[in-house]
Amino acid sequence: WAGGALGPAGGVRASIRDLARLVEALLDGTAPGVAALDPVARFGGRTRIGAGWVTTTLPGREVTWHNGASGGFRSWVGLDRAADTGVAVLSATAAAVDGAGLQLLASP
């Protein structure tokens, strides 16, 4: 699924290696558009949103993340910017992988 006319609005085709490079570039500030990570509006109680990136305040840390899904696949990228760590998760399932990503990000 390429998304047709909607593809350019947010469709990303990437391998885990591609996403790992993106995570590194986001954390070191060299990714084009890195300012999109910065929250500009409230989005619920503990959540704020930037340009497509969500920042959620959790006990002891803030996580900036984005997820996606298409035709039986799921993805999640999360960053703990204060700890300079990030995680990318790709899955060939329709089940959400957000929780798995958060657990990986919290792992030492």
- Give how many domains the chain has, as a whole number: 1
Condensed to tens digits (0 to 9), the pLDDT of residues 65-88 reads: 999 988 889 999 999 999 999 999
pLDDT value at position 41? Answer: 93
* Residue 2 within any structural domain of the chain: no
pLDDT value at position 1? Answer: 60
C-alpha to C-alpha distance for 91 and 49, rounded to whole angstroms = 24
* Residue 3 within any structural domain of the chain: no
* Residue 5 within any structural domain of the chain: no
Cβ neighbors of 42 (< 8 A, separation 6 or more) are 48, 49
* Residue 18 within any structural domain of the chain: yes
**Of 108 and 61, which is predicted with more confidence?**
61
Domain span including residue 46:
11-106
**Amino acid at site 4:** G
C-alpha to C-alpha distance for 51 and 66, rounded to whole angstroms = 10
* Residue 101 within any structural domain of the chain: yes
Contacts for 50-54 with beta carbons within 8 Å, 24 or more apart? 52/10
* Residue 70 within any structural domain of the chain: yes
For the entire predicted model, the pTM comes to 0.87
Residue 2 has pLDDT above 70, yes or no: no
Q: Using alpha carbons only, how large is the chain's radius of gyration in Å?
A: 14
* Residue 84 within any structural domain of the chain: yes
Question: Three-state SS for 41?
Answer: strand
**Of 11 and 80, which is predicted with more confidence?**
80
Task: Tell whether the torsion through CA atoms of 11, 17, 19 and 22 is positive or negative.
Answer: negative
Condensed to tens digits (0 to 9), the pLDDT of residues 13-37 reads: 889 999 999 999 999 999 999 999 9
